[in-house]
């Protein structure tokens, strides 16, 4: 049977975080294939680029009223979903990150049901919605309910799927649909440009990208770099922003490393920087997938990471880099140097693993789920 083009609502965080990046890249790829995509969120997604007549953006505006100590975003979001589903005649809502998107979608679905409109909801779990925030008891009943009442549930790794069953009372089937990348083109050109900006020809370039939250252990990144640069001429580029940035910058000054560590803030297209890197460093406390590591690998950049959560499903020990125990900074520094000694092996290993996470396969997996729930 010929599959028709769908009208898909995508709800997510419009920020630099992995879940927002995945939601946006997925929406853009679906639109490219001819589906009509409606992004519903509080601001224009940062990764949204180019012009495509199949893409619409619906902003969720929460008005300020003195009574609202906590503005009711979830309610306004649910109302916006009702409006967009009804008037844009959506076939399916795909919500990324359980909190509060899955519960808002449930409410929208019930309101629409009262009006005789059926809208299936697909929920994608990304990580901290389960591993950090979701298992907080104050969220638990709502998240459990919203997951159990979604029409389909996906998780970005086997590890996250297991965690979800472990932390919540879920009687829904969870399908693993991994994160993906658009294979990078013209890496050599970008590599030259990035290296010219950040390093000299005899220096190694290390890169870390994150939201600088405690879970990312950015102080470990700095300690690893301190040990590496004592033996190998090198520089570190810290991409992103967040609560631990100030502490990290202070540490850098106190350790006399300001001329070797650059804090560049949030960057719209991190692959332009990654292209120049010799090593990507991700020592997280917990990581459901590690999209930034995959982005690095797609540029042929080896990864030194912790062995937590979904990271072993992305970074393969001895092939695309090395995995070490959380907090074992000395071992991560030692293995970083091993990677430099056999860089071509790790670079091509990284690139070939990344190719297995190409967007096409994942797009088909999501589309199969949409067609199944749309009926
Ligand atoms: O990295 C973050 O903390 C942001 C967070 C998010 O929701 O944007 O990332 C989570 O989702 C990403 C996309 O699926 C995953 O690649 C990250 O591993 C995951 N973060 C954590 O589990 C800490």
Written as one string, the DSSP assignment of 112-159 is: HHHTT----EEEEE-SHHHHTTTTSTTTHHHHHHHHHTSSEEEESSHH
Same domain, 306 and 250: yes
Residue 2 lies in a domain: no
Same domain, 194 and 46: no
The answer to whether the CB of 286 falls within 8 A of the CB of 134 is no
Atom of ligand 1 nearest to the CA of 215: 23
pLDDT tens digits, residue range 26-61?
999 999 999 999 999 999 999 898 889 999 999 999
Residue 77 lies in a domain: yes
For 88, list phi and psi in degrees, rounded to 5: -95, 0
User: From ligand 1's centre to the CA of 55, what distance in Å?
Assistant: 25
- Residue 367: closest CA among 152, 57, 160, 87: 152
Same domain, 234 and 160: no
CB of residue 18 inside a 6 A radius of ligand 1: yes
- In this prediction, what percent of the chain has a pLDDT beyond 90? 87
The answer to whether the CB of 77 falls within 8 A of the CB of 11 is yes
- E strand or H helix at 209, and its extent? strand 204-210
Same domain, 210 and 161: no
Residue 107 lies in a domain: yes
Q: Which residue's C-alpha comes closest to atom 14 of ligand 1?
A: 126
Residue 34 lies in a domain: yes
Mutate-to-test residue for ligand 1 from 126, 160, 305, highest number of ligand atoms within 8 A of CB: 126
What residues make up the domain containing 278? 187-356
Atom of ligand 1 nearest to the CA of 127: 22
Does residue 67 surpass a pLDDT of 90? no
Q: How many CB atoms lie within 10 A of CB 321?
A: 31
Same domain, 270 and 349: yes
CB of residue 288 inside a 6 A radius of ligand 1: yes
Same domain, 176 and 212: no
Same domain, 208 and 153: no
Mutate-to-test residue for ligand 1 from 94, 287, 306, 366, highest number of ligand atoms within 8 A of CB: 287
Same domain, 70 and 194: no
Mean pLDDT computed over 143-157: 97
pLDDT tens digits, residue range 189-236?
889 999 999 999 999 999 999 999 999 999 999 999 999 999 999 999
Same domain, 31 and 168: yes
pLDDT tens digits, residue range 329-350?
999 999 999 999 999 999 999 9
Q: Please report, for residues 80, 154, 324, 363, the alpha-carbon distance to residue 58 in angstroms, rounded to integers and kept in the order given.
A: 8, 24, 43, 23
Q: Which residue's C-alpha comes closest to atom 19 of ligand 1?
A: 127
Residue 160 lies in a domain: yes
Q: HSE-up of 51 (CA within 13 Å, CB side)?
A: 0
Same domain, 269 and 344: yes
Residue 1 lies in a domain: no
Same domain, 47 and 112: yes
CATH code, domain carrying 304? 3.40.50.2000
Same domain, 167 and 242: no
How confident is the model at residue 229, as a pLDDT? 98
Instruction: Look at the chain and report how many structural domains it folds into.
Output: 2
């Amino acid at each position: 049977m010929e599959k028709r083009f769908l009208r898909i609502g995508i709800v997510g965080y419009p920020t630099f975080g992995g879940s927002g990046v995945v939601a946006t890249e997925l929406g853009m790829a679906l639109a490219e294939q001819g589906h009509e995509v409606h992004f519903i969120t509080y601001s224009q997604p940062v990764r949204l680029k180019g012009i495509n007549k199949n893409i619409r953006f619906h902003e969720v505006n929460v008005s300020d009223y003195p009574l609202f100590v906590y503005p009711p975003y979830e309610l306004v979001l649910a109302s916006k979903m009702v409006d967009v589903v009804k008037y844009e005649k959506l076939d399916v809502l795909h919500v990324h990150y359980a909190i509060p998107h899955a519960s808002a979608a449930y409410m929208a679905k019930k309101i629409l049901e009262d009006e005789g409109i059926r809208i299936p909801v697909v929920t994608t779990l990304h990580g901290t919605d389960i591993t950090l925030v979701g298992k907080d008891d104050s969220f638990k009943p709502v998240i459990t309910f919203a997951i159990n009442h979604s029409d389909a549930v996906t998780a970005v790794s086997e590890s996250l799927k297991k965690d979800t069953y472990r932390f919540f009372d879920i009687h829904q089937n969870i399908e693993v649909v991994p994160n993906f990348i658009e294979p990078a083109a013209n890496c050599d050109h970008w590599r030259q440009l990035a290296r010219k900006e950040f390093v000299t020809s005899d220096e190694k370039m290390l890169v870390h990208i994150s939201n600088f939250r405690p879970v990312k252990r950015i102080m470990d990144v700095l300690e690893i770099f301190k040990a590496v640069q004592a033996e190998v001429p090198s520089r570190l580029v810290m991409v992103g922003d967040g609560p631990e940035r100030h502490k990290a910058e202070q540490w850098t000054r106190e350790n006399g490393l300001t001329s070797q560590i650059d804090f560049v803030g949030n960057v719209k297209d991190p692959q332009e920087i990654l292209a120049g890197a010799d090593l990507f460093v991700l020592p997280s406390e917990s990581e459901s997938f590690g999209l930034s590591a995959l982005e690095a690998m797609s540029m042929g950049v080896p990864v030194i990471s912790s062995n937590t959560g979904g990271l072993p499903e992305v970074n393969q020990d001895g092939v695309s880099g090395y995995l070490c125990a959380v907090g074992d900074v000395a071992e991560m520094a030692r293995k970083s140097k091993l990677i430099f000694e056999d860089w071509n092996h790790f670079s091509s290993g990284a690139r070939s693993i990344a190719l297995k996470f190409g967007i096409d396969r994942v797009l088909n997996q999501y589309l199969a789920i949409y067609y199944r729930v749309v009926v």
